Protein backbone atom coordinates (compact mmCIF):
# COMPACT_ATOMS: atom_id res chain seq x y z
CA UNK A 1 0.00 0.00 0.00
CA UNK A 2 1.37 3.38 -0.94
CA UNK A 3 1.18 6.13 1.64
CA UNK A 4 -2.11 7.98 1.33
CA UNK A 5 -3.95 5.11 -0.35
CA UNK A 6 -7.38 4.19 0.99
CA UNK A 7 -7.49 0.70 -0.47
CA UNK A 8 -6.07 -1.26 -3.32
CA UNK A 9 -7.57 -3.48 -5.96
CA UNK A 10 -6.15 -5.54 -8.76
CA UNK A 11 -7.68 -4.93 -12.15
CA UNK A 12 -8.59 -7.83 -14.41
CA UNK A 13 -5.42 -7.33 -16.44
CA UNK A 14 -3.25 -7.51 -13.34
CA UNK A 15 -2.66 -3.80 -12.88
CA UNK A 16 -2.83 -2.29 -9.45
CA UNK A 17 -5.54 0.23 -8.69
CA UNK A 18 -5.05 2.55 -5.76
CA UNK A 19 -8.00 4.48 -4.34
CA UNK A 20 -7.06 7.84 -2.90
CA UNK A 21 -9.03 10.35 -0.86
CA UNK A 22 -9.73 13.44 -3.00
CA UNK A 23 -8.09 15.84 -0.56
CA UNK A 24 -4.83 13.84 -0.56
CA UNK A 25 -4.64 13.38 -4.32
CA UNK A 26 -1.96 15.95 -5.06
CA UNK A 27 0.19 14.79 -2.18
CA UNK A 28 0.01 11.16 -3.31
CA UNK A 29 0.64 12.06 -6.95
CA UNK A 30 3.68 14.14 -6.03
CA UNK A 31 4.99 11.26 -3.97
CA UNK A 32 4.40 8.81 -6.82
CA UNK A 33 6.21 11.00 -9.29
CA UNK A 34 9.17 12.09 -7.23
CA UNK A 35 10.02 9.25 -4.88
CA UNK A 36 12.95 7.09 -5.99
CA UNK A 37 11.63 3.62 -6.57
CA UNK A 38 8.27 4.99 -7.79
CA UNK A 39 9.19 7.50 -10.51
CA UNK A 40 5.88 7.50 -12.34
CA UNK A 41 7.11 10.11 -14.80
CA UNK A 42 4.51 9.63 -17.52
CA UNK A 43 0.79 10.38 -17.29
CA UNK A 44 -0.87 8.12 -19.85
CA UNK A 45 -4.48 9.19 -19.55
CA UNK A 46 -7.14 10.67 -17.36
CA UNK A 47 -10.70 9.54 -17.59
CA UNK A 48 -13.81 9.19 -15.46
CA UNK A 49 -16.47 6.57 -14.89
CA UNK A 50 -20.08 6.98 -13.93
CA UNK A 51 -21.95 3.80 -13.08
CA UNK A 52 -25.45 2.84 -14.00
CA UNK A 53 -26.21 2.53 -10.31
CA UNK A 54 -26.72 6.18 -9.48
CA UNK A 55 -25.86 5.58 -5.81
CA UNK A 56 -22.30 4.63 -6.67
CA UNK A 57 -19.85 7.52 -6.67
CA UNK A 58 -18.20 8.73 -9.85
CA UNK A 59 -14.60 7.69 -10.31
CA UNK A 60 -11.81 9.74 -11.79
CA UNK A 61 -8.99 7.55 -13.05
CA UNK A 62 -5.37 8.47 -13.66
CA UNK A 63 -3.24 6.02 -15.64
CA UNK A 64 0.40 6.39 -14.66
CA UNK A 65 3.45 4.79 -16.15
CA UNK A 66 7.04 4.76 -15.08
CA UNK A 67 9.14 4.74 -18.20
CA UNK A 68 12.31 3.87 -16.30
CA UNK A 69 10.79 1.08 -14.18
CA UNK A 70 8.37 -0.09 -16.89
CA UNK A 71 5.58 -0.21 -14.35
CA UNK A 72 1.95 0.87 -14.54
CA UNK A 73 -0.39 2.12 -11.86
CA UNK A 74 -3.95 3.34 -11.79
CA UNK A 75 -5.00 5.92 -9.28
CA UNK A 76 -8.69 6.45 -8.61
CA UNK A 77 -10.60 9.08 -6.72
CA UNK A 78 -14.25 8.59 -5.88
CA UNK A 79 -16.53 11.62 -6.02
CA UNK A 80 -20.03 11.75 -4.64
CA UNK A 81 -22.33 12.70 -7.53
CA UNK A 82 -24.57 14.75 -5.25
CA UNK A 83 -21.69 16.88 -3.99
CA UNK A 84 -19.54 19.31 -5.93
CA UNK A 85 -17.63 17.48 -8.65
CA UNK A 86 -14.10 18.81 -8.28
CA UNK A 87 -10.61 17.39 -7.79
CA UNK A 88 -7.17 18.92 -7.82
CA UNK A 89 -5.44 19.32 -11.13
CA UNK A 90 -2.20 17.41 -11.66
CA UNK A 91 -1.14 19.86 -14.37
CA UNK A 92 1.66 21.08 -12.10
CA UNK A 93 3.19 17.57 -12.10
CA UNK A 94 2.51 16.50 -15.68
CA UNK A 95 1.79 19.30 -18.17
CA UNK A 96 0.26 16.68 -20.43
CA UNK A 97 -2.72 16.65 -18.11
CA UNK A 98 -3.90 19.93 -19.68
CA UNK A 99 -6.07 18.58 -22.48
CA UNK A 100 -6.87 15.33 -20.67
CA UNK A 101 -8.44 17.23 -17.80
CA UNK A 102 -10.27 19.50 -20.22
CA UNK A 103 -11.77 16.45 -21.89
CA UNK A 104 -12.93 14.97 -18.58
CA UNK A 105 -14.41 18.34 -17.68
CA UNK A 106 -16.11 18.59 -21.06
CA UNK A 107 -17.68 15.15 -20.96
CA UNK A 108 -18.39 14.70 -17.22
CA UNK A 109 -18.46 18.20 -15.76
CA UNK A 110 -15.75 17.40 -13.24
CA UNK A 111 -13.82 20.56 -12.42
CA UNK A 112 -10.07 20.44 -11.90
CA UNK A 113 -8.90 22.95 -9.33
CA UNK A 114 -5.72 24.69 -10.39
CA UNK A 115 -6.03 23.88 -14.09
CA UNK A 116 -4.62 26.82 -16.09
CA UNK A 117 -7.32 26.90 -18.78
CA UNK A 118 -10.33 24.76 -17.95
CA UNK A 119 -12.57 25.06 -21.01
CA UNK A 120 -14.51 22.60 -23.10
CA UNK A 121 -12.30 20.89 -25.64
CA UNK A 122 -14.48 18.60 -27.79
CA UNK A 123 -17.80 20.39 -27.59
CA UNK A 124 -17.82 24.07 -28.47
CA UNK A 125 -17.56 26.55 -25.64
CA UNK A 126 -21.10 27.87 -25.89
CA UNK A 127 -22.49 24.33 -25.68
CA UNK A 128 -25.35 24.66 -23.22
CA UNK A 129 -26.87 21.19 -23.04
CA UNK A 130 -24.74 19.77 -20.26
CA UNK A 131 -22.13 17.06 -20.04
CA UNK A 132 -22.68 14.34 -22.64
CA UNK A 133 -21.16 11.30 -20.93
CA UNK A 134 -23.16 11.68 -17.73
CA UNK A 135 -25.81 9.03 -17.25
CA UNK A 136 -28.62 11.57 -16.90
CA UNK A 137 -27.78 13.06 -20.31
CA UNK A 138 -30.23 11.98 -23.03
CA UNK A 139 -28.56 10.31 -26.00
CA UNK A 140 -29.76 12.90 -28.51
CA UNK A 141 -29.06 15.91 -26.30
CA UNK A 142 -31.45 18.06 -24.36
CA UNK A 143 -32.53 20.49 -27.09
CA UNK A 144 -34.65 19.72 -30.12
CA UNK A 145 -32.82 19.02 -33.36
CA UNK A 146 -34.05 22.34 -34.77
CA UNK A 147 -32.60 24.22 -31.80
CA UNK A 148 -29.32 22.33 -32.09
CA UNK A 149 -29.07 23.18 -35.79
CA UNK A 150 -29.96 26.80 -35.11
CA UNK A 151 -27.29 27.20 -32.46
CA UNK A 152 -24.75 25.40 -34.63
CA UNK A 153 -25.45 27.53 -37.70
CA UNK A 154 -25.28 30.73 -35.66
CA UNK A 155 -22.00 29.78 -34.05
CA UNK A 156 -18.82 31.61 -34.90
CA UNK A 157 -16.32 28.97 -36.04
CA UNK A 158 -13.30 31.05 -35.03
CA UNK A 159 -14.58 31.16 -31.47
CA UNK A 160 -13.86 27.45 -31.16
CA UNK A 161 -10.18 28.22 -30.94
CA UNK A 162 -8.31 30.16 -28.33
CA UNK A 163 -5.58 32.65 -28.93
CA UNK A 164 -3.03 30.12 -27.78
CA UNK A 165 -4.23 27.43 -30.11
CA UNK A 166 -4.13 29.76 -33.09
CA UNK A 167 -0.65 31.01 -32.24
CA UNK A 168 0.51 27.42 -31.81
CA UNK A 169 -0.74 26.81 -35.33
CA UNK A 170 1.39 29.73 -36.50
CA UNK A 171 -1.73 31.36 -37.81
CA UNK A 172 -1.46 34.43 -35.66
CA UNK A 173 0.26 36.48 -38.33
CA UNK A 174 -2.03 35.27 -41.08
CA UNK A 175 -5.50 35.72 -39.60
CA UNK A 176 -7.53 38.82 -40.49
CA UNK A 177 -7.27 41.86 -38.25
CA UNK A 178 -10.87 41.74 -37.06
CA UNK A 179 -10.49 38.12 -35.98
CA UNK A 180 -7.30 39.00 -34.15
CA UNK A 181 -9.06 41.84 -32.35
CA UNK A 182 -11.89 39.56 -31.28
CA UNK A 183 -9.47 36.98 -29.98
CA UNK A 184 -7.49 39.61 -28.10
CA UNK A 185 -10.65 40.70 -26.34
CA UNK A 186 -11.18 37.09 -25.36
CA UNK A 187 -14.49 37.01 -27.18
CA UNK A 188 -15.79 33.47 -27.14
CA UNK A 189 -19.14 33.94 -28.83
CA UNK A 190 -22.45 33.79 -27.06
CA UNK A 191 -25.45 31.53 -27.24
CA UNK A 192 -27.51 33.15 -29.99
CA UNK A 193 -30.91 34.56 -29.07
CA UNK B 1 -30.13 18.07 -78.13
CA UNK B 2 -33.56 16.74 -77.30
CA UNK B 3 -35.39 19.94 -78.06
CA UNK B 4 -34.58 20.18 -81.73
CA UNK B 5 -37.60 21.64 -83.42
CA UNK B 6 -36.73 20.56 -86.88
CA UNK B 7 -33.88 19.00 -88.77
CA UNK B 8 -33.43 18.11 -92.34
CA UNK B 9 -31.45 15.15 -93.48
CA UNK B 10 -30.21 14.34 -96.91
CA UNK B 11 -29.84 10.64 -97.52
CA UNK B 12 -26.44 9.33 -96.49
CA UNK B 13 -25.29 12.59 -94.91
CA UNK B 14 -25.37 14.22 -91.52
CA UNK B 15 -28.22 16.70 -90.92
CA UNK B 16 -27.94 19.73 -93.10
CA UNK B 17 -29.50 21.96 -90.53
CA UNK B 18 -31.04 21.90 -87.08
CA UNK B 19 -33.74 24.23 -85.89
CA UNK B 20 -34.09 24.84 -82.19
CA UNK B 21 -35.29 27.56 -79.86
CA UNK B 22 -32.51 29.99 -79.07
CA UNK B 23 -33.04 29.54 -75.33
CA UNK B 24 -32.70 25.80 -75.63
CA UNK B 25 -29.49 26.21 -77.58
CA UNK B 26 -28.05 28.49 -74.93
CA UNK B 27 -29.13 26.16 -72.14
CA UNK B 28 -27.62 23.22 -73.96
CA UNK B 29 -24.30 24.98 -74.45
CA UNK B 30 -24.15 26.34 -70.90
CA UNK B 31 -25.29 23.18 -69.17
CA UNK B 32 -23.02 20.85 -71.13
CA UNK B 33 -20.01 22.95 -70.41
CA UNK B 34 -20.94 23.17 -66.75
CA UNK B 35 -21.70 19.49 -66.35
CA UNK B 36 -18.63 18.28 -68.17
CA UNK B 37 -16.17 20.31 -66.15
CA UNK B 38 -17.26 20.13 -62.53
CA UNK B 39 -14.57 21.06 -60.06
CA UNK B 40 -15.21 19.25 -56.81
CA UNK B 41 -14.53 20.71 -53.39
CA UNK B 42 -13.85 17.70 -51.18
CA UNK B 43 -15.12 18.06 -47.63
CA UNK B 44 -13.92 14.77 -46.21
CA UNK B 45 -14.53 14.17 -42.53
CA UNK B 46 -14.51 10.39 -42.15
CA UNK B 47 -14.11 7.03 -43.85
CA UNK B 48 -16.15 8.17 -46.88
CA UNK B 49 -13.23 10.44 -47.70
CA UNK B 50 -11.08 7.34 -48.23
CA UNK B 51 -13.53 6.08 -50.83
CA UNK B 52 -13.60 9.57 -52.28
CA UNK B 53 -9.83 9.47 -52.64
CA UNK B 54 -10.12 6.05 -54.28
CA UNK B 55 -12.61 7.55 -56.71
CA UNK B 56 -10.19 10.33 -57.52
CA UNK B 57 -7.24 8.00 -57.92
CA UNK B 58 -6.19 6.19 -61.04
CA UNK B 59 -8.30 3.04 -60.81
CA UNK B 60 -11.71 4.79 -60.84
CA UNK B 61 -10.51 8.23 -61.87
CA UNK B 62 -13.35 10.70 -61.93
CA UNK B 63 -11.22 12.90 -64.17
CA UNK B 64 -12.92 10.89 -66.89
CA UNK B 65 -16.03 12.89 -66.11
CA UNK B 66 -14.39 16.29 -66.18
CA UNK B 67 -13.52 16.41 -62.48
CA UNK B 68 -9.77 16.23 -62.84
CA UNK B 69 -9.12 19.35 -60.81
CA UNK B 70 -10.05 19.15 -57.17
CA UNK B 71 -10.49 22.63 -55.82
CA UNK B 72 -9.22 22.83 -52.28
CA UNK B 73 -10.42 26.41 -52.18
CA UNK B 74 -14.20 26.85 -52.20
CA UNK B 75 -13.84 29.93 -54.40
CA UNK B 76 -12.79 27.82 -57.37
CA UNK B 77 -15.23 24.96 -56.82
CA UNK B 78 -18.51 23.97 -58.43
CA UNK B 79 -19.62 20.96 -56.44
CA UNK B 80 -19.22 20.41 -52.72
CA UNK B 81 -18.82 16.73 -51.87
CA UNK B 82 -19.46 16.14 -48.19
CA UNK B 83 -17.82 12.78 -47.56
CA UNK B 84 -18.42 11.68 -44.01
CA UNK B 85 -20.33 12.55 -40.88
CA UNK B 86 -20.86 16.16 -39.97
CA UNK B 87 -20.79 17.12 -36.29
CA UNK B 88 -22.62 20.23 -35.15
CA UNK B 89 -19.25 21.84 -34.51
CA UNK B 90 -18.52 21.66 -38.24
CA UNK B 91 -21.98 22.84 -39.34
CA UNK B 92 -21.06 26.56 -39.50
CA UNK B 93 -17.85 25.61 -41.30
CA UNK B 94 -19.53 23.70 -44.13
CA UNK B 95 -22.14 26.44 -44.41
CA UNK B 96 -19.41 29.05 -44.76
CA UNK B 97 -17.62 26.96 -47.37
CA UNK B 98 -20.89 26.60 -49.26
CA UNK B 99 -21.51 30.34 -49.08
CA UNK B 100 -18.00 31.03 -50.37
CA UNK B 101 -18.51 28.92 -53.47
CA UNK B 102 -19.48 30.93 -56.56
CA UNK B 103 -22.76 30.31 -58.31
CA UNK B 104 -23.75 27.96 -59.80
CA UNK B 105 -22.94 25.36 -57.17
CA UNK B 106 -24.09 21.87 -56.35
CA UNK B 107 -23.77 19.60 -53.35
CA UNK B 108 -23.29 15.84 -53.23
CA UNK B 109 -23.97 14.21 -49.89
CA UNK B 110 -21.78 11.13 -49.86
CA UNK B 111 -22.63 8.25 -47.55
CA UNK B 112 -25.22 7.42 -44.94
CA UNK B 113 -23.88 9.76 -42.26
CA UNK B 114 -23.81 12.88 -44.41
CA UNK B 115 -27.25 12.10 -45.79
CA UNK B 116 -29.09 11.11 -42.61
CA UNK B 117 -26.73 11.04 -39.67
CA UNK B 118 -26.35 7.30 -40.20
CA UNK B 119 -25.55 5.31 -37.08
CA UNK B 120 -24.67 8.49 -35.22
CA UNK B 121 -28.11 9.40 -33.94
CA UNK B 122 -26.68 11.27 -30.97
CA UNK B 123 -26.15 14.67 -29.42
CA UNK B 124 -23.14 15.66 -31.50
CA UNK B 125 -24.12 14.87 -35.08
CA UNK B 126 -26.06 16.73 -37.74
CA UNK B 127 -28.88 14.44 -38.90
CA UNK B 128 -28.34 14.96 -42.61
CA UNK B 129 -26.46 17.87 -44.13
CA UNK B 130 -29.62 18.95 -45.96
CA UNK B 131 -30.53 20.76 -42.75
CA UNK B 132 -27.45 22.94 -43.34
CA UNK B 133 -26.94 23.21 -47.12
CA UNK B 134 -29.19 22.28 -50.05
CA UNK B 135 -28.25 18.84 -51.38
CA UNK B 136 -28.60 17.79 -55.02
CA UNK B 137 -27.54 14.15 -54.97
CA UNK B 138 -27.53 11.73 -52.05
CA UNK B 139 -25.17 8.78 -52.46
CA UNK B 140 -26.15 5.94 -50.11
CA UNK B 141 -23.67 3.48 -48.66
CA UNK B 142 -21.47 3.06 -45.63
CA UNK B 143 -19.21 4.05 -47.24
CA UNK B 144 -20.37 4.05 -50.87
CA UNK B 145 -18.10 2.27 -53.28
CA UNK B 146 -16.34 4.45 -55.85
CA UNK B 147 -18.81 3.20 -58.47
CA UNK B 148 -21.58 4.58 -56.27
CA UNK B 149 -20.01 8.00 -56.11
CA UNK B 150 -19.40 7.97 -59.87
CA UNK B 151 -23.06 7.09 -60.39
CA UNK B 152 -23.98 10.02 -58.16
CA UNK B 153 -21.76 12.29 -60.22
CA UNK B 154 -23.45 11.08 -63.41
CA UNK B 155 -26.85 11.74 -61.84
CA UNK B 156 -25.66 15.24 -61.05
CA UNK B 157 -24.63 15.65 -64.70
CA UNK B 158 -28.16 14.69 -65.67
CA UNK B 159 -29.62 17.15 -63.22
CA UNK B 160 -27.40 19.96 -64.45
CA UNK B 161 -28.36 19.28 -68.05
CA UNK B 162 -32.00 19.70 -67.08
CA UNK B 163 -31.47 23.19 -65.70
CA UNK B 164 -32.36 26.35 -67.53
CA UNK B 165 -31.25 29.95 -67.38
CA UNK B 166 -34.58 31.22 -68.62
CA UNK B 167 -37.11 29.07 -66.82
CA UNK B 168 -37.48 30.34 -63.24
CA UNK B 169 -38.48 26.90 -61.98
CA UNK B 170 -35.46 25.17 -63.41
CA UNK B 171 -33.02 27.98 -62.73
CA UNK B 172 -30.47 27.54 -60.00
CA UNK B 173 -30.87 30.33 -57.48
CA UNK B 174 -28.94 31.24 -54.37
CA UNK B 175 -30.43 29.56 -51.32
CA UNK B 176 -29.52 31.82 -48.42
CA UNK B 177 -30.35 31.23 -44.78
CA UNK B 178 -33.46 32.88 -43.40
CA UNK B 179 -33.44 35.65 -40.78
CA UNK B 180 -33.20 33.07 -37.99
CA UNK B 181 -30.08 31.67 -39.62
CA UNK B 182 -31.81 28.45 -40.68
CA UNK B 183 -32.17 26.80 -44.06
CA UNK B 184 -35.30 24.79 -43.26
CA UNK B 185 -38.06 25.67 -40.86
CA UNK B 186 -37.66 24.23 -37.32
CA UNK B 187 -40.55 21.83 -37.93
CA UNK B 188 -38.90 20.50 -41.08
CA UNK B 189 -35.56 20.06 -39.32
CA UNK B 190 -37.23 18.12 -36.51
CA UNK B 191 -39.03 16.00 -39.06
CA UNK B 192 -35.99 15.03 -41.13
CA UNK B 193 -33.98 14.43 -37.95
CA UNK B 194 -36.49 11.93 -36.56
CA UNK B 195 -34.90 8.63 -35.53
CA UNK B 196 -35.54 5.72 -37.83
CA UNK B 197 -34.56 2.06 -38.04
CA UNK B 198 -32.88 0.58 -34.99
CA UNK B 199 -32.32 3.89 -33.26
CA UNK B 200 -36.06 4.40 -32.75
CA UNK B 201 -35.83 2.43 -29.52
CA UNK B 202 -32.77 4.16 -28.11
CA UNK B 203 -33.34 7.12 -25.88
CA UNK B 204 -30.86 6.96 -23.05
CA UNK B 205 -27.11 7.00 -22.99
CA UNK B 206 -27.03 4.26 -20.34
A106, A148, A158, A191, best to mutate vs chain B, most B CBs in 10 Å = A148
> Cβ contacts (< 8 Å) between A134 and chain B: which residues?
205
ipTM: 0.83
- pLDDT score, position B206: 45
Q: How far is B89 from chain A (nearest CA, A)?
A: 7
Query: For all residues of chain B together, what is the average pLDDT?
Result: 87
Tell me if residue A18 falls in helix, strand or coil: strand
Model confidence at B68: pLDDT above 70: yes
Tell me if A162 is assigned to some domain: no
Tell me if A64 is assigned to some domain: yes
Tell me if residue B159 falls in helix, strand or coil: helix
Helices (H), chain A: 25-34, 97-108, 145-153, 163-168, 177-184
User: Which pLDDT band holds residue B3 (cuts at 50, 70, 90)?
Assistant: low
**Whole domain around residue A63: which residue ranges?**
5-122
Measured between alpha carbons, how far is B67 from B159 in angstroms, rounded to an integer? 16
Q: Which residue has the higher pLDDT, A129 or A184?
A: A129
CB-side exposure of B55: number of CA atoms within 13 Å?
28
pLDDT digits (tens, 9 = 90+) for B39-59: 999 999 999 999 999 999 999
pLDDT digits (tens, 9 = 90+) for A98-151: 999 999 999 999 999 999 888 888 888 888 899 999 988 988 889 999 999 999
Domains and CATH numbers, chain B: 34-162+176-194 (3.40.50.12280)
Tell me if A185 is assigned to some domain: no
A114-151: buried (b, 16+ CB within 10 Å) or exposed (e) per residue? ebeebebbebbebbebebbbbeebeebbeeebbbbbbb
Tell me if A89 is assigned to some domain: yes
The count of domains in chain A is 1
**Residues of chain B in Cβ contact (below 8 Å) with chain A:** 88-89, 91-93, 95-96, 121-124, 126-127, 131-132, 177, 180-183, 186-187, 189-190, 193, 195, 202-206
Among chain A residues, the shortest Cα distance to B125 is held by: A140
pLDDT digits (tens, 9 = 90+) for B99-150: 999 988 999 999 999 999 888 988 999 999 999 999 999 999 999 999 999 9
Within an 8 Å CB–CB cutoff, is residue A190 touching chain B? Answer: no
Tell me if A160 is assigned to some domain: no
Tell me if A86 is assigned to some domain: yes
Measured between alpha carbons, how far is B101 from B82 in angstroms, rounded to an integer? 14
C-beta of residue A98 within 8 angstroms of C-beta of residue A92: no
Tell me if A145 is assigned to some domain: no
> Which of A21-25, A51-55, A179-183 is least confident?
A179-183
Query: For all residues of chain A together, what is the average pLDDT?
Result: 86
Q: What is chain A's alpha carbon radius of gyration, rounded to the nearest angstrom? A: 19
Tell me if A179 is assigned to some domain: no
- CATH code: domain of residue A26: 3.30.460.80
CB contact under 8 A, A135 and B189: no
CB contact under 8 A, B182 and A133: no
Q: How far is A64 from chain B (nearest CA, A)?
A: 28
Measured between alpha carbons, how far is B174 from B177 in angstroms, rounded to an integer? 10
- pLDDT score, position A94: 93
- pLDDT score, position A18: 93
Amino acid sequence: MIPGGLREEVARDGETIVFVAPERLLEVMTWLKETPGQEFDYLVDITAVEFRDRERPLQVVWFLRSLTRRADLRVKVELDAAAELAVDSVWGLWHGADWLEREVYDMFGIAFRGHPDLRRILMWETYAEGFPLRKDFPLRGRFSRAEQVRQALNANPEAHYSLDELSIADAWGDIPDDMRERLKRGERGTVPE
Amino acid sequence: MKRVVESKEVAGQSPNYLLAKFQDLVDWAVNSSRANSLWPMPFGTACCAIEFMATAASRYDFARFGMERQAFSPRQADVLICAGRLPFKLAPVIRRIYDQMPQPKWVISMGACASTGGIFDNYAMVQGIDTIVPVDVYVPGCPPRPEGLLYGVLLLHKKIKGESLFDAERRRDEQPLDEKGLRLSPAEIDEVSEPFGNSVHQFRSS
